[in-house]
A and B are shown apart, each in its own frame.
Chain A
Amino acid sequence: KNEVEQSPQNLTAQEGEFITINCSYSVGISALHWLQQHPGGGIVSLFMLSSGKKKHGRLIATINIQEKHSSLHITASHPRDSAVYICARGAYNTDKLIFGTGTRLQVFP
């Protein structure tokens, strides 16, 4: 069992739909990371959070420390949001991350 589980593995949506990607982890963390990988391969960091909620544009990340669960929401989805979204957990005193296997999102016009 992976320490970081994401669901769903694949997700398709129509443009404009509200999207939720879930991430659960099994041990205590220093921070939870959400990253985005476009088809070209490069990965960018979207959020790093240890409590509550963070918002950037149409993206919202939430975390529930007690339940060891985080969600990434995309409001008013757009085809350019099509990418793989990866959740990763961080540990204390290290920048090493444990990654989930990713959620492949396709948004159709």
Chain B
Amino acid sequence: DVKVTQSSRYLVKRTGEKVFLECVQDMDHENMFWYRQDPGLGLRLIYFSYDVKMKEKGDIPEGYSVSREKKERFSLILESASTNQTSMYLCASSPGQGSSPLHFGNGTRLTVT
């Protein structure tokens, strides 16, 4: 079974801090995704990576950056955390063959105070 592991379940940070959210998958998947989930809005794509060092902006990339130095690891970076980035963050991966199921991590609930 594919395992997607997010480094933290809960995180509390202060406004202005630099925040790193880490995600690791163990199935050699090409694609990795970072989503945020807010009540009433569903999951929204922040960034997407289709290969090592390759990335593509999603629907809401402002205030975020990403890093994919190795195939199995996809990091989401909040350069200067703000209160409106308080949210549930979900990482996902997929094989990259088009129209394949996504495999999700358990999520990181980030609170920025």
Contact = CB atoms under 8 A, between A and B. Distances in A.
Interface of A: 2, 4, 30-31, 33, 35, 40-45, 48, 50, 86, 88, 90, 92-97, 99-102
Interface residues of B, number: 29
B68 interface: no
A44 B107 CA distance: 12
A95 B105 contact: no
Contacts of A2: 42
B109 A41 contact: yes
* Most chain A beta-carbon contacts within 10 A, residue among B9, B48, B100: B100
A82 to B, nearest CB: 17
B98 A30 contact: yes
B106 A42 contact: yes
A93 B103 contact: no
A93 B98 contact: yes
A95 B43 contact: no
Contacts of A88: 43
B103 A100 contact: no
Nearest to B9: A41
Given A33-B101, A92-B99, A93-B98, A99 B42 contact: yes
Given A42-B104, A96-B48, A102 B42 contact: yes
Contacts of B100: 48, 95
Contacts of A93: 98
A31 B99 contact: yes
A103 B5 CA distance: 25
A94 B98 contact: yes
A30 B41 contact: no
B16 interface: no
The 5 closest A-B pairs by CB, nearest first: A41-B107, A45-B101, A43-B104, A42-B106, A95-B94
A79 to B, nearest CB: 21
B5 to A, nearest CB: 11
Nearest to A30: B99
